[in-house]
Amino acid sequence: MTFYFKHLIMKKQGHELGRRGEEIAKEHLRSIGYEILEENWFWQHLEIDLIARDGNELVIVEVKARSTDSYEHPSEAVTSRKIRFLVNAAEAYIFQKDINLDTRFDVISIIFYKGGYKLEHFKEAFYPPVN
């Protein structure tokens, strides 16, 4: 098997794992009373995994899913660059939809194990950087 073919298989598996994670995160949010407003919302080349409403707050949710053989905790994959992208996309969403709610940024981490998974929900995982 060539390196390129292995790379394509791994990329597809990662994409499927991510989609599974987003579905689990969405169900988790619904189970605790959030209203899901958008899934995989794009602005230019930027994507927000989930956009929800929790009472009087708009919640921008980044979902990170990993298998047990990964080397880092999923929440560690939310880099300062990713935070900037999420903040920019959130600003575009708020402007486009004319939303006047407090906004927070949550991260949902999902680690899959044989036969199950562990979900962690980090509310207010980060604050938008001040420019």
H or E segment and range at residue 67: strand 57-67
DSSP code, position 131: -
Under the banding of pLDDT at 50, 70 and 90, the label for residue 16 is confident
14: in domain: yes
Instruction: Provide the number of structural domains found in the chain.
Output: 1
CATH number of the domain bearing residue 116: 3.40.1350.10
Residue 62: predicted pLDDT: 96
Domain around 101:
3-126
For the segment 5-17, the average pLDDT, to the nearest whole number, is 49
Query: What gap in Å lies between CA 104 and CA 50, rounded to an integer?
Result: 12
34: in domain: yes
3-state helix, strand, coil split of the chain in percent (to 5) is 40, 40, 20
131: in domain: no
Q: Give the number of other Cβ atoms within 10 Å of residue 59's Cβ.
A: 24
pLDDT in tens, 47-92: 999 999 999 999 999 999 988 655 666 667 788 899 999 999 999 9
What mean pLDDT is reported for the chain?
Answer: 86
Residue 20: is its pLDDT beyond 70? yes
CA dihedral sign of residues 74, 82, 45, 3: negative
Residue 13: is its pLDDT beyond 50? no
Between 2 and 84, residue with greater pLDDT: 84
Query: What gap in Å lies between CA 46 and CA 90, rounded to an integer?
Result: 10
Q: What is the pTM of this model?
A: 0.84
Query: What gap in Å lies between CA 68 and CA 63, rounded to an integer?
Result: 16
Percent pLDDT > 90 in the chain is 65
What residues contact residue 22 under an 8 Å CB cut-off, 6+ apart? Answer: 39, 40, 49, 50, 63, 65
84: in domain: yes
Residue 107 and residue 61 in contact, taking contact as beta carbons nearer than 8 Å: yes
121: in domain: yes
